[in-house]
Structure 1
Amino acid sequence: MQKLLGAWGKLVSGNAANGLLQLAIFAIAAQALELAALGVIILIQAYVRVVDGLLNFQSVNVLTNFMADAQEKAGPDRLRGLFKAGLFVDFGTAVFATLVALLCLPLADQLFGFGEDWLWFAAAYCLVILTRTFGAIEAGLRCFDRFGAISLRPVTASSTILFASLIVWVTSGTAQTLLIVWLCAEALANIAFLIWSMLTLRREGLAQLKGANANEAIQGSRNFWQMMWQTNFTYGLRIFSQEGDVLVVGALLGEAAAALLKAAKNLAALIGQFGAPLHRASSVPIARFVAVGETGRAFGFALKSSLGVAALGLIGTATMLVLTPFVLTTAFGPEFEPAYWIVIGLMLAKVLYLAGAALPPMMLALDIAKQFTTMILLGNIAFFGVLFALISPLGLVATVFAHLAFEAVWAIYGWSVTAGKARKAATLP
């Protein structure tokens, strides 16, 4: 547990810094642009994230599980083979996702109304997907306990984007200019991180990949492709609900409403920063516990750590009750004041998410990826069912109930099936 807290602390510090940087970036954009123009940028980014999440199959979660198992039971040859296989998945699906995003852009314009003036800029922004290829890289860094290195990527990217945004704001650049600057800044930061991480992993022993046997490593990893498809499909569905509300709000309520929702989600994301680090830091110890037959210990480890970060999330939400009005009106602008209760509601939804933050690595380690997919699918059904049922009478408030519905399904269903599987595995001889 002490090792987990150390890794979690490194990741939280990086995520917290990144969350604050993201708020600063949004504040600059809100000050520099009209609400409607900012809304168009938000819609383009949401469209790219949805396509990226659905089709860019990053291998991090599956690969972390198998690489941790290889460290315990196999040797460096299998480790290198798995890493090489992950790189092929990461870069191959990134290219595919980019092509789909470009081809479907005219349809997206009809649905969300970017406008002809934005199409070429939106097409250029789709290219950022090509640099979002961190799956195998992050899995390797996790297995060698390089969590500080993992936390550097979002902070570096956000710092670069913040600096570029300041230049656009000071020079009174257009909204289109801001979007292209964000593209270039993120792409350069991502590429720099990929190069630096590869050099780091080479020093840890993940070298001579050209001679590594990826096929042999995959064959020695039970249900590799099944878990890869199911896990990435599941995370694609998760991204669909995380970003889909912005697209729905933009299409039905307009670009300005999409900007208000994004402001609320950016603030609520500060609470969620506790979750992703736990997910990452707990994946290796959970996989190792299960690999040596200590399933009950793995379950207790996952449950206690999730409830701990959920408690921190409640404390953070109580604090933000006081700070949110200042941030909305002073940092973003007075037109964002109506988003106050949306922020608080979304923060409470994040607390529910934190209560299941260690579920993904736990379910993956127990080889119940199908149930994980079912959990996310049920959550999406609840999410979009509530959203479409309430958006007409309640407007933006409907998004709060939609997120609460998703996270309630996530926590209740996820822990019930995981407890049953862990109990059954613990009774086996």
Structure 2
Amino acid sequence: MSTVIAARTLGPAAYGTLALILTIGRVSERVLRFESWQPLIRFAAQRDVERDPARMSQLMLYGLLLDISTALLAAVLTIAAGYTLATVIHLGASALPLVAIYAVAIAVNVRGMPTAALRINAQFRTLAYVQLFASVLRVVAALVALSLDLDLLAFVTIWTAAQIIDSMLFNYLGFRTLHRLSIPSPLRASWRNLPSEFPGFLGFAFSTNLSSTLRTFTQEADTLLVSAFAGSNAAGFYHIAKRIAKVAQQVGAMIQAVVYPDMARMWANAQHRAFRRITARLQLALAAAGLAILFTTWVLGGFLVNVAFGSEFADAYPLLLAQLVAVILIMHAAPSRSALLAMNRPRFVLGTAVISTALFFMVALYALPRFGAIGANFAHIAFSAFTAIAMDLCWWRGSNVPTTLEAPAAAAAS
């Protein structure tokens, strides 16, 4: 909704600039940010950590230190990237101070540790409420900006303030959850010898970070690529299509977040049959939901884009349809990725991301000059199709353990 309001208020040109500013920040953040909640949840599932509040506190401190350091580095990178890429992506000099403003939100966006705490305690509803609160706050502020006919500076400030408040609330809830679990505050834990206390943690974190970075080049930096080839207006249309399609993708991300801790426990306890069953059912459910969304968009999408954004944004509709095809494939692959991480196969996830990213850029660099912005959508489809096929083959073969071994293995694990 905030995207609709911003586009309506600013128009294609200024909205395209807003999209570029937000994209520079998000790319910088995700290139450097460790998704520390993934290794935190995996290591927290180990019995010697799960049953020791002091070690659990140390583990959370490890993740928190990674979060803080990478957030600060990402803020610096945001400013540097804005000034370096401005000419290439057609970002005007007047927009560069706005990039610095948004970098403040990047600097305080510490999320990995509190996310892990909430997910370990199964507070998925709380996670959803926090995200909803930030979205509502942004919508309310955007409506005020619309009523006052404010400019681009106001919308950048709104996005920055909303993200800062969201991060502060997230961290408060994360620390409160640890307190309720009788886990001492990570701020009082010993930071000495953390790598030796949790061997393999950094390696797992680096693998997931590299995988996330490669996904960032395709899922966030693509807007910058579109702007470089087709201009900021086309980047704005493309950004709108991606924001709408992301609503569907978030369904898969939320379900993945809910089931990942259970999948990690199932694999650790050698419950292979249940592990395969839950992964396969989730894949089918997400694929079916994605196809339903694609059909609805095909029937009503053009009309809704015109009503919501105005006829001047009509070019976003074909981009939206193409993007949804890629999103369906990614939704289907989301449980596979969780399964592989639970099986301690981050290197395969990383290798798949490397090949998929290379395929994305080959298709994008061929298609963008010939077809315009929709060429980036074609690249997304190629990326998603390869990812889904590769991960499906790997998790299914890797989890296909003879069922006769499950009961003794589970008994030994207990």
The normalised TM-score by structure 2 is 0.92
- 1:308-334 CA-to-partner distances (Å, cap 9, x unmatched) read 111111112212222312221011110
Distance 1:106 1:100, change over 3 A: same
Letter paired with 2:53 = P
Does residue 107 (structure 1) correspond to residue 94 (structure 2)? The answer is no
- What corresponds to 2:24 in structure 1? 47
Distance 1:243 1:345, change over 3 A: same
- What corresponds to 2:136 in structure 1? 159
Distance 1:171 1:305, change over 3 A: same
Q: SS in structure 2 opposite 1:403?
A: helix
- What corresponds to 1:391 in structure 2? 368
- What corresponds to 2:412 in structure 1? none
Distance 1:289 1:196, change over 3 A: closer
- What corresponds to 1:96 in structure 2? 73
Q: Is the 8 A contact 1:27 1:332 kept in 2?
A: yes
- 1:264-316 CA-to-partner distances (Å, cap 9, x unmatched) read 11221222122101210111111101111223432332222122111111112
| 1:208 Cα offset (Å) | 3.8
Q: Distance in 1 between matches of 2:162 and 2:247?
A: 22
| 1:148 Cα offset (Å) | 0.9
| 1:358 Cα offset (Å) | 1.2
Does residue 292 (structure 1) correspond to residue 248 (structure 2)? The answer is no
| 1:193 Cα offset (Å) | 2.8
Q: Is the 8 A contact 1:58 1:136 kept in 2?
A: no
Of residues 172, 177, 180 in structure 1, which corresponds to 2:157? 180
Does residue 31 (structure 1) correspond to residue 3 (structure 2)? The answer is no
Written as runs of structure 1 = structure 2, the 5 A alignment for 1:8-407 is 24-70=1-47, 74-213=51-190, 219=196, 221-407=198-384
Q: Distance in 2 between matches of 1:209 and 1:383?
A: 40
| 1:360 Cα offset (Å) | 2.5
Letter paired with 2:129 = L
Q: Distance in 2 between matches of 1:79 and 1:359?
A: 28
- What corresponds to 1:412 in structure 2? 389
Distance 1:71 1:276, change over 3 A: farther
| 1:371 Cα offset (Å) | 0.7
Q: Distance in 1 between matches of 2:218 and 2:168?
A: 28
Q: Distance in 1 between matches of 2:402 and 2:349?
A: 17
Q: Is the 8 A contact 1:271 1:317 kept in 2?
A: no
Q: Distance in 2 between matches of 1:216 and 1:116?
A: 46
Distance 1:114 1:216, change over 3 A: same
The more displaced of 200-209 and 366-375 is: 200-209
Letter paired with 1:54 = V
Letter paired with 1:347 = L
Letter paired with 1:394 = F
| 1:206 Cα offset (Å) | 2.5
Letter paired with 2:141 = A
- What corresponds to 1:4 in structure 2? none
Q: Is the 8 A contact 2:10 2:152 kept in 1?
A: yes
Q: Distance in 2 between matches of 1:323 and 1:131?
A: 39
Q: SS in structure 1 opposite 2:220?
A: helix
Q: Distance in 2 between matches of 1:69 and 1:313?
A: 35
Give me the CA root mean square deviation. Answer: 2.0
| 1:175 Cα offset (Å) | 1.2
| 1:218 Cα offset (Å) | 5.0
Q: Distance in 1 between matches of 2:144 and 2:347?
A: 47
Q: SS in structure 1 opposite 2:116?
A: helix
Letter paired with 2:346 = A
Q: SS in structure 2 opposite 1:273?
A: helix
Determine what percentage of the aligned residue pairs are the same residue: 26
- 1:77-107 CA-to-partner distances (Å, cap 9, x unmatched) read 2222211111111111111111222233310
The total of aligned residue pairs comes to 406
Q: SS in structure 1 opposite 2:334?
A: coil
Distance 1:114 1:70, change over 3 A: farther
